Amino acid sequence: MARSRASGRFAADVSLLLLAVAFALPLAWVVLSSVDPHAGLRVRVPDGLTLDNFDAILTPDITYTPLLNSLILCGGATALTVVCAALAAYPLSRFRSRLNRPFLLTILFATSLPITAIMVPVYALFVRVNLIDALQGTILFFAASQLPFAIWLMKNFMDGVPKELEEAAWTDGASSLQSLVRIVLPLMGPGLAVVTVFSFVMMWGNFFVPFMLLLTPDQMPASVSINDFFGNRGTVAYGQLAAFSVIYSTPVILLYVLVARRLGGGFALGGAVKG
Amino acid sequence: MNLRRRFTRTLPLAPAVVLILLFLAGPIAYCVYIAFTDLQLTGQAHASFVGFANFRHAFEDDAFLNAVWLTLVFTVLSSLVGQNTLGLALAALMKRASKPVRTLTGGIVVTAWVLPEVVAGFLLYAFFRREGTLNAILGLLHLPRENWLFTLPVLAVSFANVWRGTAFSMLVYSAALDEIPSEISEAAEVDGAGGWRRMWHITLPMIRRSIGTNLMLNTLQTLSVFGLIWVMTRGGPGNKSQTLPLFMYEQAFQNSMIGYGTAVALLLLLVGSLFSVVYLRLLRTEV
């Protein structure tokens, strides 16, 4: 049996490596092209290494402004999401109420709705209330769309903090808000990090929402401005497109690695799938 | 419990509830309303109520039926078949593979998932273009090359969605497989059941709840894919890869028929809600 297990492992290793290569090909293209002086559409080993592609795009116009916009948009919306979700999760996790279950079910239901579908009415609504092309409008919508899942995750993490620790503080006269900020949130640090990073990563990569709600080019986040590499610049400089993609993707990959390490890979899935 | 105490305890919910009501429930309610009007993008002072005209129009519109069909193909190919099966295969292989291979493969697959949607779109666009990587490989193998984005755009965007979305299924199934007690499959192995039989008779029945929830979430995710297809094909050529979200966008903005576009959005939302309800029922015992 030991021998069949060893050959089973070998077969599994080979199949996995083949799949890994298939998945890696498009990723290899972006990494190699970004340093290739003559980048095309095909994966190939560059005939010389260059940083010209990065040099060409590291200008306020192409890179810094869109990334800063992304940061303002996603940072603002993430902060709003995390604060609102932490506040909302507290009573849901700590106090019994007949409303908890229906509320949580509604939240879970909203979590899985296709948000893409409501972008047209959101656009029509935003035109009416004059929020089109306003960063704060986009931030508010981003936060609202992320909130159901954030509340759900936050509540599950908060349930893991034992209530006894707070009871001492309550007898000493602390208010709920004080015990939330001083005791519960510090104790659920990793959970808080997961909610924050997850919200941020989701919005950083989101294309459709800012594409619909923002119009002015110098307000566009990187997810939309990346389209400029096509369109009016004539021929596409693939090397520059690849270099931009690398810069734009790196923060979310780093954030993911940071959180995934700490939580052993499963990331936010525990909350989503296990219920 | 007195009223005042109940009030102070519920108060922290207020900011979240207000945001959700204003920016999520509000648009959905507005969606229901304008789907029954002839609202247009420009010119009109106010829209008038047209009843079910938008929906009747949709079901007589070949372009709409085409979008429904393509959405179905896209969802079945990429989510039900692709992401789900490949995710399970990856998870099952990982249980048997050596640690470095497992880490490497997992890292690559997850990177594809974490990448921003538009970047993923560009990578796969480059991969499938006539002068792209796929054709280069086919050429090396002396296989016929194809202008994939032109002749088989649905297939190309479905593959793109598999590439991007499989990590989710892989993580779900890895977690599910880890929860199966090893004694059970070892006992079956001693009794002489081969790999496939163990998979079919033991593993699959034991993880059926995870399969259910994973299928639901994959489908919902796939129903709302916009950026990936937009970047790769813009729904074209013609409307050969125009799924419902892209059709909705085109009607509302290129043809400036917001009412009609919203009716399509409402249908999409209804299908999504249906899946969402099924998902809730699958989780029912655990909430």
Q: Where are the domains of chain A?
A: 1-50, 64-265
- B26 vs A125, A206, A224: nearest CB: A125
- Distance between CA atoms of A64 and A62, rounded to whole angstroms? 7
Q: Which CATH number do you get for residue B161?
A: 1.10.3720.10
* B97/A110 Cβ within 8 A: no
More confident residue, A215 or A235: A215
Q: Tell me what ipTM this predicted complex has.
A: 0.89
Distance CA B146, CA B282 (A): 42
Residue B42 banded pLDDT, cuts 50, 70, 90: low
Q: What are the tokens at A110?
A: 């909203």
Q: In 10 A of CB B19, how many CB atoms?
A: 22
Give tens-digit pLDDT for A102-146. Answer: 999 898 888 888 889 999 999 988 988 899 999 999 999 999 999
Is B31–A118 a contact, with Cβ atoms under 8 angstroms apart? yes
The verdict on residue B32 lying in a domain is: no
Mean pLDDT for the stretch of residues B40-62: 80
Mean of all residue pLDDT scores within chain B: 88
3-state secondary structure of B37: strand
For residue A90, the chain B residues in CB contact (below 8 A) are 12
Report pLDDT for A52: 86
Residue B128 scores a pLDDT above 70: yes
Shortest Cα–Cα distance, A234 to chain B (Å): 17
The answer to whether residues A150 and A195 touch, using CB atoms and an 8 Å cutoff, is yes
Q: Would the CB atoms of A29 and B230 count as touching at under 8 Å?
A: no
Residues of B in contact with A84 (CB under 8 A): 15-16, 19
Query: A223, B118: Cβ pair inside 8 Å?
Result: yes
- For chains A and B, count residue pairs whose Cβ atoms are closer than 8 Å: 283
CA distance A92 to A153: 12
Q: Which residue among A101, A109, A226 places its CB closest to the CB of B276?
A: A109
Chain A residues in contact with B6 by the CB 8 A cut-off are 97
Q: What does the pLDDT read at residue A263?
A: 61
Sorted by sequence, the CB contacts under 8 Å of residue B249 that are 6+ apart come out as A119, A120, B226, B261
Q: Is residue B180 part of a domain?
A: yes
**CB-CB: which of B116, B126, B168 is closest to A29?**
B126
Cis check for the bond before B237: say yes or no (omega within 30 of 0). yes
- Tell me what pLDDT residue A96 has: 84
Q: In this structure, is residue B212 part of a structural domain?
A: yes
Chain B interface includes A144 (CB < 8 A): yes
Q: Is the pLDDT of residue B127 over 70?
A: yes
Q: What is the pLDDT of residues A188-233, one digit of tens each?
A: 888 899 899 989 999 999 999 999 999 998 899 999 998 888 765 5
Instruction: Using the predicted structure, report yes or no on whether residue A266 has a pLDDT greater than 50.
Output: no
In a domain, B245, yes or no: no
The verdict on residue B8 lying in a domain is no
- Report the residue of chain B nearest A197, measured CA to CA: B114
User: Could you tell me if residue B43 is inside a domain?
Assistant: no
A64-265 maps to CATH 1.10.3720.10: yes
- The minimal CB distance from A42 to the residues B117, B136, B223 is found for B136
Summarize pLDDT for A13-61 with one digit per residue, the tens. 999 999 999 999 999 999 999 998 888 888 888 888 888 889 888 988 8
pLDDT at residue B153 tops 60: yes
Number of domains making up chain B: 1
Q: What is the largest CA-CA distance in chain B?
A: 80
Whether B16 is in a domain gets the answer no
Q: Which residue of B has its CA nearest to A20?
A: B105
Average pLDDT of chain A is 86
Q: Does B212 touch chain A (CB under 8 A)?
A: no
The verdict on a CB contact (< 8 Å) between A97 and B10 is yes
Report CA dihedral (B5, A164, A267, A154) to the nearest 10 degrees. 10
Q: Highest-confidence range of A1-5, B88-92, B255-259, by mean pLDDT?
A: B88-92
